[in-house]
Amino acid sequence: MLAVTDLKKSFVSPDGERVDIVNVPGFSLGAGEQLALRGESGSGKTTFLNLIAGILAADSGQVAIDGQEMTALSESKRDRMRADKLGYIFQTFNLLQGFTVIENVVLGMSFGPGGADRDHARRTLQRVGLGHRLDHFPHQLSTGQQQRVAVARALANRPRLVLADEPTGNLDRKHAREALALIREVSKEVGSALLLVSHDEEVLQQFDLRRDFADINKVAVVARASSGPAT
């Protein structure tokens, strides 16, 4: 379902030096599989997810989703593919603050193949326990509730692949466990593969499939400038 081959990405640091961030010779994930990638801060795992999502363009290499080569696509087609096949859960949720809960989900759906389906968005939000909060704005929700909105938004389109970047990083233990369970359950329900990156051992232990990002990323971990790109 997901196949990564010879994927490379580097950035120019503020002092002009080119720094390799990602160098993944090979990585794959099967349909419906749930895999956790362990990685320390600054190891390049967010960049790796962004390359898979097509948010960042790779220097070289291939990312194929469902056999479709993403890195060969134009930016516009990458956008379309991201909308069609991917769900992305960010550590900081990245909810649109000026939009209500249901609008956040509907808007996420509207770029996908099925288009905006308010009823489905409502059902998805009910599934994550927010049926009573549809018309609230994100700032009116608790952190845990905001995370659930992010989950609903990422999964409402029934994506083939869900990318989760430290999805529990901003939650306390109790809420982190709940959020993780929710992400895994809903991903399974909608038949999505899940690729989660985290440095939290408790989170990682929940997964049968686990890998160290350092094992697949063949670059030396270096201290990177704070002004550089997310890693």
Partner 1 sequence: MALPLIIYRSLRQHLLSTIVTAGGIALACGLLMCVWVVKTQSQTTFTQTTSGFDAVLGARGSKLQLVLNAIFHMEASPGNVAPTDFEQVRRLPMVKAAIPIAVGDNLRGYRIVGTIPTLFEQIEYAPGKMFAVQPGGKLFALEGREAVAGSFAAEKLGLKVGDRFNPYHGLAFDPQNKHADEFVVSGILQPTNTPADRVIWIPLRGVQTMAGHDPKAANDISAVLVQLRSQAAGPMLDMMYNKQGNRLTFAWPVAAIIAELFGKISWFDQVLALVAYLVAVVAAGSVLASIYNSMSARRRDLAILRALGARRRTIFGAVVAEAACIGALGATLGFGIYFALLVGVAKVIRAQTGVVLDVTARHPVLWICPVAMIILCALGGVVPAFKAYRTPVAETLAPVS
Query: Which positions touch partner 1 (CB under 8 A)?
Result: 46-47, 50, 53, 55-56, 75-76, 79-80, 82-84, 86, 88, 90-92, 94-99, 103, 106-108, 110-112, 115-116, 153, 165, 229-230
Q: Which residue has the tokens 């759906």?
A: 109
Degrees (nearest 5) of the Cα angle 87, 91, 92? 105
User: Measured from the CB of residue 98, what is the shortest distance to partner 1 in angstroms?
Assistant: 4
B/e letters for 36-69, b = 16+ CB within 10 Å, e = fewer, are bbbbeebbbbbbbbbbbbbbbebbebebbbeeee
The distance of closest approach from Cβ of residue 109 to partner 1 in the complex, given in angstroms and rounded to an integer, is 9
Nearer to partner 1, 83 or 208 (CB): 83
What's the distance, Cα to Cα, between the start and end of the chain in Å? 24
Q: What is the smallest separation between the CB atom of 178 and partner 1, expressed in angstroms?
A: 21
Between 205 and 223, CB nearer to partner 1: 223
- For residues 120 and 205, which CB has a smaller minimum distance to partner 1 in the complex? 120
The Cα 26–Cα 6 span in angstroms is: 6
For partner 1, the closer of residues 97 and 205 by Cβ is 97
| Least distance to partner 1, CB of residue 131, Å | 21
Cβ proximity to partner 1, 64 vs 116, nearer residue = 116
Residue 178 exposure: Cα atoms within 13 Å on the Cβ side:
14
At 205, list the tokens: 């232990």
Tell me what percent of the chain is helix, strand and coil, each rounded to the nearest 5.
35, 25, 40
Beta partners for 164? 89, 196
Provide, rounded to whole angstroms, the least separation between the CB of residue 184 and partner 1: 21
Q: Is-contact 162 155, C-beta < 8 A?
A: yes
Question: Which of residues 148 and 153 has its CB atom nearest to partner 1 in the complex?
Answer: 153
Of residues 77 and 215, the one with the C-beta less far from partner 1 = 77
Q: How far is the CB of 208 from partner 1 (least distance, A)?
A: 27
Alpha helical stretches, state H, 28-117: 45-53, 75-85, 101-110
Supply the DSSP symbol for 140: G
CB of 30 to partner 1, least distance (A): 23
